[in-house]
Structure 1
Amino acid sequence: MVRAGEKMTTMLAILLLGFLPFTPADPDPVLDFCIPESGSVHPDLNRLGSIPCKNPSNVTADDFVFSGIISRGNFSPSTGFAGVAVNPAQFPALNTLGMSFARADFEPGGVNPPHYHPRATETALVVEGSVYSGFVDSGGRVYAKVVEKGQVMVFPRGMVHFQMNVGDSTATIFGSFNSQNPGLVRIPGTIFGSAIKVELLERAFGLSAKELAKLKRRFESS
């Protein structure tokens, strides 16, 4: 017979589990593919789950081919980084398949500042150049090294990671994600470019109001 105290403890444990943060993986597809009907793709990926699929009889091989990463994006003058993200909004054939990818280019010395993807693990293949790459785990340990052409590094889901071109010529990386909407949280812009109270940031980082104002001017538009 279960005593009242044990029963209460069990019920409390169940309730606490219900409040734990839970981020499920992308759902398993129930169709071979679901290419959205023409005009139904929207940049807000939260709308992709309930849009109608194109009739398979109207689908061709061209629907499964994407040419948007043949060329790099535009380099940022502040970071020397150019990124091209590819998800169902750009490549509708990815819809419901639980994956997306990106192209990243770096000028010499260019950086992809610390950031993380809340819904996906990333694998990054260096196709040109030498890129100092790494991530920080939840215990504050840094795992970083120079990754050369042909090598792949993995960044576990939710871990803050970063990249910098340490070579003398442009570097290029192709990244893939195990979510069609991995999310992107850029640490500098999220902290200093948002509406977090200056008083809190002063205490948290030991910076003066003048120093914070300079950082906010830099990152508010990024």
Structure 2
Amino acid sequence: MAGELFPFLHLLVLLLLTSAGFSDPDPTQDFCIPNTGSTPVDLTQLATYPCKNPTNTSADDFIFSGARSPGKFSKETGFSGLSVTTSLFPALHTLGMSFARADFEPGGVNPPHYHPRATETALVVEGIVYSGFVDSGGRIFAKVITVGEVMVFPKAMVHFQMNVGKSPAVIFGSFNSENPGVVRIPATVFGAGIKEGLLEKAFGLSKEELERLQRKFGPKEGEI
């Protein structure tokens, strides 16, 4: 009996050891600022960049000042979002984290979206925000939160935010990935070029309604 089990146990051990190697390795050095010269960091090519020589780094390399004020607001949503990943802040490389600043005009919304590679925590630093996510079973978890409160959005869960106060609102989000990615639901569904017949049946839309949504969420002139 023991002889019959040995091949099975041997295979099981091999599978366990192999699967253990699938997780991200821990950093082998204190930090690795991509040495790109004067060119911006290309997130798709991070692994090809050498690390900047630590003797040539200074405190300035580890400071980002671009989140002091909001970016440009969308006229349609009243929302401004700044995603701070390695492309803007190279010192984040290999540290497994990034962050974002989100600003809302009164009534402004951050439309449903998700981050395929990260869990997010969202801290309200100003205003009153209706915040929530929907799990894979279709259950919604949502609540109005205010200054000092934090909500967590589990990895790859669709989530959203809306300023329900009468003054501007500000949120700072943090991610457990240096490149969390973002999939915006309206633009992905109606602006990516999915076959019209499929969308008409899936959402019960008329051709005219679908064309209106495609114009609204499709790429604008000059955009890629």
Same fold, TM-score > 0.5, yes or no: yes
Aligned counterparts, 1:81-160, within 5 A:
81-160=79-158
Alpha-carbon distance, 1:184 to partner = 0.1
5+ long unaligned stretches in structure 2: none
Q: Residue 158 and residue 25 in structure 1: after superposition, are their counterparts in 2 closer, same or farther (change >3 A)? A: farther
Summarize deviations over 1:79-109 as a string: whole Å, max 9, x none.
Answer: 0000011011101100111100000000000
For normalisation by structure 1, the TM-score amounts to: 0.87
User: Do the aligned residues in 1 keep the contact of 2:108 with 2:163 (CA within 8 Å)?
Assistant: yes
Alpha-carbon distance, 1:117 to partner = 0.2
5+ long unaligned stretches in structure 1: 19-23
Q: Residue 142 and residue 41 in structure 1: after superposition, are their counterparts in 2 closer, same or farther (change >3 A)? A: farther
Q: Structure 2: how far apart are the matches of 1:56 and 1:170?
A: 41
- Alpha carbon RMSD of aligned pairs, Å? 2.1
Summarize deviations over 1:22-59 as a string: whole Å, max 9, x none.
Answer: xx665421110001124276453121123111111111
Alpha-carbon distance, 1:140 to partner = 0.5
Q: Structure 2: how far apart are the matches of 1:191 and 1:119?
A: 20
Q: Which residue of 2 aligns with 1:48?
A: 46
Alpha-carbon distance, 1:221 to partner = 2.5
Alpha-carbon distance, 1:173 to partner = 0.3
Identity of aligned residues (%): 67
- Of 176-185 and 24-33, deviating more is 24-33
Q: Residue 180 and residue 25 in structure 1: after superposition, are their counterparts in 2 closer, same or farther (change >3 A)? A: farther
Q: Structure 2: how far apart are the matches of 1:26 and 1:112?
A: 30
Q: Which residue of 2 aligns with 1:21?
A: none
Q: Which residue of 1 aligns with 2:191?
A: 193
Q: Residue 128 and residue 174 in structure 1: after superposition, are their counterparts in 2 closer, same or farther (change >3 A)? A: same
Residue identity matched to 2:196: V
Q: Residue 168 and residue 25 in structure 1: after superposition, are their counterparts in 2 closer, same or farther (change >3 A)? A: farther
